[in-house]
Structures are given as C-alpha cells and as structure tokens.
Amino acid sequence: MKVIFDVLHLYYLPQYIPVVSELKKRNFEVSYLFYESADLLLNEIAKKVLNDLDIPVHYVHKWEGAKLFYEAEKADWIIFGNSVADLDDIHRYSKSALMQHGIGPKSCYYDVSESQTTVRFVEGQHRLSRLQSLYPNGNFVDTGFAKLDPIVNGEQFEIDLQSLGLDPAKKTILYAPTFYPSSIECFDKSFANQFSDFNIIVKPHFFTLTKRKYQKQRLLLEHWSKSNNIYLASVDDFNLVPFMALADVLISDASSAIFEFAALNKPVVWCDFYKLRWSYRGVFKFRFKQRLDSDIQFFNEVAIKANSYVELLEKVEQSFSSHLAKSNKIAAVVEKLAGAIDGNCSIRVTDYLEENS
C-alpha cells in the first residue's frame, strides 16, 4: 500500500509522525509531499527537518505541482492536514483522508470539511456528532488524536531541561500561544523576571516565527529569550510534543494546545485576553466571535482562566491544586473532545487505511 502525506506546513508533521511510524512497521510505502515557499532559509530548515525523519520527500511549489505528482503516483491514500481543492480529480486515482493538525476552538476545525475527503479522522464523540450534523454525507471516524501517542506510550525524546539550558530543580512552564488571536502582546516585557521561580519554554506558533505581520510578537519573544530561565523554540523546533512531555504546566490562549495538554492530565492556565486588530474590535467584534467556535466554552472546564496578564502568576500557582481537585471532571471533558487517550490512535488510523485501501 502506498500512502503520501501532504505537508503544507511543518507543524502538520507531529500529527502525521505516529501514523507514519505505524505504517512503516507494517512495511507500507510512505512518503511526504512538502510545499516549498519563497523563503529560501525556511526551505533549508524544512529540508533539514524532513531529511532527519528519514522518509522519502517530494518537493513542489504550489498545489498544481502537487496535483500532477499525485496523478502520476496513484497512491492508495493521500493524507491531508487541511482542506484542498479538486478532490473529485484526486479521487479518480486515490482515496483521501483528513487529519487535522489541531483540536482547538477555531471555527476552521469544522469548516474544512466543506470539501469532503474520503474519510476524516476525528477526535471524540462530541466532534464526531457535530461534524455528522453539519455534513450528513461525510464519512467521519473517531480515532482519537494521534499526535499524543508518543507521550502516552512513554517514548523518549532527544531533549531535556539541561539541554535547553534550564534548571531541572525548577517547575517548568510551557507557554504555547497561537498566532491570532494571540496573548503574546498582552504580556509584560518583564515576564521572565516575574516568573523567575520557573523555567519557561516559549513555543510560539509557526506563523509567529515566519510571517512578517507578526514581527512585533517576535521582538517581544527575542527580548524574553535573553533571560536564563527562558528557552525560546525556533522554527525547526516544529514539534510541541517533546516540550509538553517536559512541562509541568501550560499557559496558552486560543490554541489547540490547551486540550492537548489537559489530555495528558497536567494543569493548564487559559489566557482569555488577546491583542486584537482594529478590524476585530468594537463594531467588528463579530469577526472575532466568528473566528472562534463555541467549543472554546470547554476551556473553562479543563483550565483555570486568567482574564488579564496581571492575574497570570496567581493563576499559575493555583493551577496545580485546582487541577487535582478537578482531574476526574477534566478527564471526562477530554474524552469528549479528544477521544481515547490510550496511545493507540495511530493504530486505529492505520487499521482503517489498511482495511479500506
């Protein structure tokens, strides 16, 4: 069986990697297709990351090139991480599957199924039911969230606190904000000093580090990185999973990371404050509400909420005891939104691909 994974961005890889590993165990032919950008440095970083994964890679510049490649390869399955055009053409020679790279509260989680793949692998009965209601002709299968399998299965990662220049004697905060709407610009320049009792791993979204419009965010991140209790992840640190394994508590905003970290039975602080563009404020606030899905309500059930940066330190300190008190309730919400957290999600995905090829 031949399976090709469509890699529009590097941050799709953590969701793909456990499934690729399972496919390789069964001796299937697996490869990646990656879209090069106009940024030569970014392409170099991507090629290094992909080469280190030791999987064949084909490079294209645009969708048209990818489509020609897929037509020539005639793979059994093509796995996408987002919606794509021309699926009717793709389905003349291959089946398609959608594996979303995140399980966050943005409305695009549901919208991407307007273009319907042969199957979409989803996480939990809540999302399954909603997708079936929105797209009654779609094919949705609850497999859980494969990205978390390596942590659940106790896999060892190449990094540790010492290799990041951090203090193993301290508790570790993972700050993983999304790119928009983001909390980054609401944080103080003295963030590192105010949280000096903690190690801080800052793992920004890929777009924060690569797109010109987020330059102000990068300036603040670079200022923080000068402190000895902060490790700032770079573009080639594409995988959040090893950092989640190291951290004791997560701080995040409108990011899928909140559900992911809660699924690992660790405390989360939700920053419910954001730097909004003028086009998302005042009379245009409806755009902000449209961008975020109603699933964001579940953040209240799995995280402790900070309404402003001023509250953040207190909420981080509270999060440990709060998490213990709510752990059973959190586990039930996680199962509802992320599916089974049993380390076998990639096996279920692979079983489906094999049985339906």
> Which residue ranges make up each domain of the chain?
2-145+342-355, 162-338
Nearest alpha carbon to residue 13 among 99, 95, 75, 73: 99
Instruction: For domain 162-338, give the CATH number.
Output: 3.40.50.2000
Distance CA 69, CA 51 (A): 20
Instruction: For domain 2-145+342-355, give the CATH number.
Output: 3.40.50.11190
Tell me whether the CATH fold assigned to 2-145+342-355 matches the one assigned to 162-338: yes
In the predicted model, what is the mean pLDDT of the chain?
A: 89
Distance CA 157, CA 353 (A): 27
- Count of CB atoms situated within 10 Å of the CB of 142: 18
Q: Percentage of residues in the chain with pLDDT exceeding 90?
A: 66
Instruction: Out of 193-202, 248-257, 325-334, pick the least confident.
Output: 325-334
Please tell me the total number of residues recorded for the chain in this structure.
357
Looking at residue 278, what is its pLDDT?
44
Looking at residue 293, what is its pLDDT?
52
pLDDT digits (tens, 9 = 90+) for 315-352: 999 998 877 667 788 888 888 888 899 999 999 999 99
Looking at residue 283, what is its pLDDT?
40
Could you give the angle at the alpha carbon of 16 between the alpha carbons of 7 and 63, nearest 5°? 20
Q: Which helix (H) or strand (E) holds 120?
A: strand 119-122
Distance CA 128, CA 141 (A): 7
202, 208 in Cβ contact below 8 A? no
Mean pLDDT in residue range 140-154: 96
Grade residue 286 by pLDDT with cuts at 50, 70 and 90. Answer: very low
Mean pLDDT in residue range 160-173: 97
pLDDT digits (tens, 9 = 90+) for 86-114: 999 999 999 999 998 877 665 677 888 88
pLDDT digits (tens, 9 = 90+) for 208-229: 888 888 888 999 999 999 999 9
Looking at residue 157, what is its pLDDT?
93
